[in-house]
Amino acid sequence: MTTTEAPARALDFIREIVEEDLRSGKHQTVVTRFPPEPNGYLHIGHAKSIALNFGVAAEYGGRCNLRFDDTNPEKEEAEYARAIIEDVRWLGYEFAGGEPLHASDYFDQLYEWAEHLVTRGLAYVDSLSAEEMRAYRGTLTEPGKDSPYRTRGVDENLDLLRRMRAGEFPDGAHVLRAKIDMASPNVNLRDPVLYRIRHEDHHRTGGKWCIYPMYDYAHPPSDAIEHVTHSLCTLEFEAHRPLYDWLIENLPVPSRPRQIEFARLNLNYTVMSKRKLLRLVTEGHVRGWDDPRMPTIAGLRRRGYTPASIRNFAERVGVAKRENVIDVGLLEFCVREDLNKTAPRVMGVLRPLRVVIENYPEGQSEELETPNNPEDPSMGTRRVPFSRVVYIERDDFMEEPPKKFFRLAPGREVRLRSAYFVTCTSVVKDDAGNIIELRATYDPATRGGDAPDGRRPKATLHWVDAASAIDCEVRLYDRLFNVEDPEAGGDFLANLNPRSLEVVADAKLEPTVRGAAPLTRYQFERLGYFCVDPDASDARLVFNRTATLKDSWAKVVAAT
């Protein structure tokens, strides 16, 4: 693909750089990578990075690698790695080669290049304790001090490094450091550690290694080995870029990748560090990494978000160099926008109130045709049953309605969507005075929801036929945290919203939804978007509310 086929929208600064590099001939093919550490599930922040890395590669006909940053020997990465692969694919991206790559694939090469640095006098084995090293490093305002081991000769360094690798020393006895500048104003250049001793098996390389490269050492040459052209990362790596460049400069690497930093995504009403998300899971504040209240990709998927809605969100957020906080309302806006177009409508009643239509013949029933999406005739129609008893939403009836309440009330006529006009004739109560059902009449001349005389009730209600209704559980979600910045006070757990989940155990749905597979999405008319939870069984459907219909984003826009 040539650069002229790039999308017409305004280019962000990264796409500008990429286009310029293609135009100038610096690169023929764009290569990016997404480098997650398999120590947790991906979250919506990662989705921004994924959309950027895979998006740029796709737009310019290049490729994007999925590379697991597995420089830490980790025990339980299998589940995380599997989940990351699933999430990237679900978002609609395929990684180059169809297989993930691993930093650990390069351990041999990285080690060989470590010896290369030692041989050139650009790295040395330091034997200070961790505590001493910290003291020697200096501070942001004071330069560091050279370690007494900094002047070791090449042969001694090489011998020590090889013995480190051979397992002759315990953890912490020595480290390999780059020899750069202990007085640099950039602490990342004060002889950063390249290798440390860790007598631990690695899930992929087994017992082969007892020294492991630091992320800062492993990342630049890994990019170079993969011929990554643009190594896109978040702003906190900006101060590491001089080290990135130093390594690319001083190692005999096969290509010269360029690191470019962009602002990470921050979202209000949530936390996004994997460590904090892990606490939510392990301490039981949510049901798992894929709990629909979690900002994880797996949680959003289970909640009913579509891949397109998340990609659109990432695109709207854009790519910039300055950090800001995005309103979670924008994410909700994006899923509503997509589901409004794609989710078929059904009727469901969350808090049912029985209505007995006394002039409808007992034992009779009929099917009424209703559009699957009134705004999109191409989505077709379906037939919903109707008979003598229907359920309406409890909130849609008031015995003594205030002025602006136009829905059902005694003596008042309303339209049942796609069905008939009904008039409430009386209210039946139990001994305690609670309403248990309504009595009503219907006008047979209004079949389909229109009156021949042109009269129009002020309200149209959703309803479900009682005889054929499907009982199901509906889980209504609210924000997991009740403050915009849960981390502000120090203890984010103190800001958990105790009402983030409300379970409605006895909702009634029209029979259209029978047998719907997990993750099937609907709009429940007048209520919101819902999707089938994987907990559903043939015996019992369970729905998650993805989003209400209320457009809180419009309010956000109006307020700003």
Rounded to a whole number of angstroms, the minimum distance from the CB of residue 392 to ligand ATP is 44
For this structure, is 264 an active site residue? yes
Catalytic residue among 33, 241, 274, 415: 274
Instruction: Judge contact between 263 and 324, C-beta under 8 A.
Output: yes
β-strand partners of 470 = 509
Q: Give me the residues that bind ligand ATP (CB under 6 A), please.
A: 35-37, 45-46, 48-49, 69, 233-234, 264-265, 272-274
Rounded to a whole number of angstroms, the minimum distance from the CB of residue 374 to ligand ATP is 38
Instruction: Judge contact between 388 and 419, C-beta under 8 A.
Output: no
For this structure, is 274 an active site residue? yes
Instruction: Judge contact between 373 and 362, C-beta under 8 A.
Output: no
Q: How far apart are CA 507 and CA 72, in angstroms?
A: 48
Q: How far apart are CA 546 and CA 520, in angstroms?
A: 11
Q: What six digits make up the tokens of 174?
A: 């020595």
Rounded to a whole number of angstroms, the minimum distance from the CB of residue 261 to ligand ATP is 9
Rounded to a whole number of angstroms, the minimum distance from the CB of residue 48 to ligand ATP is 4
Rounded to a whole number of angstroms, the minimum distance from the CB of residue 50 to ligand ATP is 8
Catalytic residue among 19, 37, 86, 484: 37
Q: How far apart are CA 265 and CA 493, in angstroms?
A: 21
- Residue 32 or 147: the one with the smaller Cβ distance to ligand ATP is 32
Q: How far apart are CA 266 and CA 36, in angstroms?
A: 18
Shortest-Cβ-distance residue relative to ligand ATP: 45
Instruction: Judge contact between 259 and 53, C-beta under 8 A.
Output: no
- Residue 177 or 274: the one with the smaller Cβ distance to ligand ATP is 274
**Pairing state of beta strands 230-234 and 258-262?**
parallel
- Residue 311 or 345: the one with the smaller Cβ distance to ligand ATP is 311
Catalytic residue among 204, 264, 279, 351: 264
CA distances, 175 to each of 156, 169, 404, 427, 451 (Å): 14, 11, 75, 81, 85
For this structure, is 137 an active site residue? no
Rounded to a whole number of angstroms, the minimum distance from the CB of residue 242 to ligand ATP is 18
**Alpha-carbon torsion 170, 172, 173, 179, what sign?**
positive
Torsion of the alpha carbons at 528, 531, 537 and 542, rounded to the nearest 10: -30
Which amino acid appears at position 89 of this protein?
Answer: R
Q: How far apart are CA 397 and CA 18, in angstroms?
A: 60
Rounded to a whole number of angstroms, the minimum distance from the CB of residue 274 to ligand ATP is 4
- Residue 39 or 425: the one with the smaller Cβ distance to ligand ATP is 39
Rounded to a whole number of angstroms, the minimum distance from the CB of residue 557 to ligand ATP is 23
- Residue 37 or 115: the one with the smaller Cβ distance to ligand ATP is 37
- Residue 69 or 393: the one with the smaller Cβ distance to ligand ATP is 69
- Residue 68 or 420: the one with the smaller Cβ distance to ligand ATP is 68
H or E stretch at 524: strand 521-524
Mapped onto helix, strand or coil, the DSSP state of residue 185 is coil
DSSP 125: E
Q: How far apart are CA 287 and CA 500, in angstroms?
A: 12
Pick from 471, 466, 470, 465: nearest CA to 383? 465
- Residue 131 or 283: the one with the smaller Cβ distance to ligand ATP is 283
β-strand partners of 523 = 345, 529
Active site residues: 37, 264, 274
